[in-house]
Chains A and B, each alone.
Chain A
């Protein structure tokens, strides 16, 4: 089967700084990959390149066998993305935004409204009917962005820090939704700093450090006796410091 995502020597430079350095990664269809790394490791930059927001300095991105350089629009119809900063058109209300996004994917109004209502109910999202997204709380914005990423039933879902700023109950709902999607064959790639979440959700992980791939594969195989994902992560990226402060 054609892989859902193939990155071939993917590199991104910002001036002198190399954010992503010759990254090779393959994600099979139906996989659930957790992309891990410290702050500035290159996770968000990788997702931005994969979703077409950033242009790679070199290397190749293939999504469902299509090249992002030449088939960007066809790829965008198949993927859903939730950037870390959500990137919402915040002058609209939540329902207006979802209607706009849904129509851009060619969905009928009735379908959009039905799906939006279901998502809002599941995520316990009840904004004021005329309140613009700009006035939503951080968590509410995150939920709207999540809804927008799912609305058109994508085959691959890219989520950048989806659990940040989300309450515990909704957190649980989102996890259930994601596991349900995986069961139905949707490919999922998410980044998170919360290792426990990744450990519970993602059978596969890839660890980035300073733009380079430090390890990738099935979590069970990578562990090789290590006690936890946290231990594995710290062993791979290094740099752990003692927790003592000189003035306290």
Chain B
């Protein structure tokens, strides 16, 4: 049987994705995912779907008659809400290009076919798939609520689905472009986090949980300006067109669908252009100047420098330097009114900062990619490699800690003792992560893509292990800190330094075993890194 090119592209994509997922998640991972899927479906998707169905079912009969304006606006806003923010969320969760355009370009395939296949492949994302289903259920509700609307409903569904897919791909590609320009991304994130922290800290304790009076007036003014905007929304116009079908005004009905269709086509053209530019940008970049050559006394120094460089050359690694800022925003924003902040703010900040290190520490060869073979070919024993990596990570996380301290000092005015004790606590976290990570890096090695900010691809068992260990460390070290700070402040620093020294001792004891374990897993690491 002959298969069309778009179907062939999608079949190859689905087969490849399934094979990769099965290989990466292992059997336990697949079961865990199924379990998570069932829980999400039961408690989120089914109630949300039912809500959308009922919204369609109850609003459909009200679309006719003199009071139809309000339901039309509500439906238009609902559809815009499903498509717009849904696509944005899908894009931020990784909804960018799925197919390997560079590979498929060798085939006699038109650009539009590639784009169509790309858009359909986007439906494989969990969120987008759910939104498409929600849209379908909503349209079914409309059809059952007023069967006379049925002739135009398939078009309404398809045009909204199309807009959702195009928007997600466009926003995903834009987000990726922004992420590639890290300075711009950091600037935007800084601005957003600052704004969020300002808004969150505007709520004075005396005002309770409600909005300040000035905000109420502001919202009323905004609502009055919103109505013309809602009326002009292409989704609202499409719903208005829907209402024209029972009376037989097919020309009007179809005419009112045009803005939405035009918008979709326009955005699709923009997306296609963007994707093509991405292709053109793949050409290697010749840079001027001269790269500095390294010099180091011992192999450890070189390995540490290589690890640090590897971290900084990855998007994930660069993103880590935003963590101190996010930590401070959390403390000054949502957590600002939590009780006893003086006791837990500093250790909490360092513990939160340490959490970000999990993805690198538990998968220490992940960023090396296929270069790990080059590393293993060198006359270095595994203990040296581990020690070199440890130094590189220490420098990386140490710099983040310094950044955090620089931000905490003017905001919280901590004492020197508290700061030093918090640093000791951070060292405890770091050493525990490193010791455990030296084993998990061989147990479940996974390649981390240096050039994207997508998920770090930590296997599910490692994610769960990381959460458990972080919780245990927080209870153990953070608990000690809080208890000492509360009951015996004079022992705070010696107590935390003692913990750090103990962690260091245990770490040193474990390293030979970790090296032996990794020696036995070199093959698995090489295979996993490609």
Contacts and interface: CB of A to CB of B under 8 A. Distances in A.
Interface of A: 51-55, 72-74, 76-77, 81, 83, 85-93, 95-96, 99-101, 103-105, 109, 113, 128-132, 135-137, 148
16 contacts: A51-B377, A72-B381, A83-B373, A83-B377, A89-B371, A89-B374, A91-B371, A91-B450, A96-B292, A103-B294, A113-B293, A128-B287, A128-B288, A130-B287, A130-B291, A131-B285
B377 A95 contact: no
Contact of A87 (B292, B295, B371): B371
Given A53-B377, A76-B377, A90-B369, 9 more contacts: A53-B376, A53-B523, A54-B523, A85-B370, A95-B291, A96-B293, A104-B299, A128-B287, A130-B290
B378 A101 contact: yes
A216 to B, nearest CB: 25
B109 interface: no
A82 to B, nearest CB: 9
B313 A91 contact: yes
Contacts of B310: 89, 91
A137 B283 CA distance: 10
A59 to B, nearest CB: 15
B302 interface: yes
A87 B373 contact: yes
A53 B526 contact: yes
A87 B377 contact: yes
B368 interface: yes
A82 B189 CA distance: 43
Contacts of B48: none
A229 to B, nearest CB: 30
A53 B375 CA distance: 10
Contacts of A128: 286-288
Residue among A90, A100, A113 with the highest chain B CB neighbour number at 10 A: A100
B208 interface: no
B368 A89 contact: yes
Given A131-B286, A136-B284, A91 B309 contact: yes
A104 B291 contact: no
A131 B287 contact: yes
A158 to B, nearest CB: 10
Contact of B377 (A52, A85, A103): A52
Q: Which 6 A-B pairs have the closest CB atoms?
A: A87-B373, A135-B284, A130-B287, A76-B379, A89-B371, A128-B286
Nearest to B295: A109
Contact of A129 (B290, B313, B371): B290
Nearest to B369: A90
Interface residues of B, number: 38
B229 interface: no
A232 B295 CA distance: 51
A76 B285 contact: no
Contacts of A129: 287-291
Nearest to A113: B293
Given A54-B526, A100-B294, A103-B296, A92 B309 contact: yes
A108 to B, nearest CB: 10
A76 B296 CA distance: 21
Nearest to A103: B302
A132 B288 CA distance: 12
Given A89-B306, A129-B290, A130-B290, A55 B377 contact: no
B380 interface: yes
Nearest to B378: A104
Contacts of A77: 379
Contacts of B294: 96, 99-100, 103
B442 to A, nearest CB: 13
Chain A CB count within 10 A is highest, among B291, B377, B379, B522, for: B377
B370 A87 contact: yes
Contacts of B295: 99, 103, 109
A133 to B, nearest CB: 9
A90 B375 CA distance: 12
Contacts of B368: 89
Interface in B275-334: 284-296, 299, 302, 306, 309-310, 313
Contacts of A87: 370-374, 377
Nearest to A108: B295
A88 B526 CA distance: 13
Contacts of A81: 377
Contacts of B306: 89, 92, 100
A52 B522 CA distance: 9
Contacts of B292: 96
Contacts of B450: 91
Contact of B284 (A74, A99, A131): A131
Contacts of A109: 293, 295
B233 to A, nearest CB: 45
Contacts of B526: 53-54
A178 to B, nearest CB: 19
Nearest to A80: B377
Contact of B522 (A53, A90, A95, A132): A53
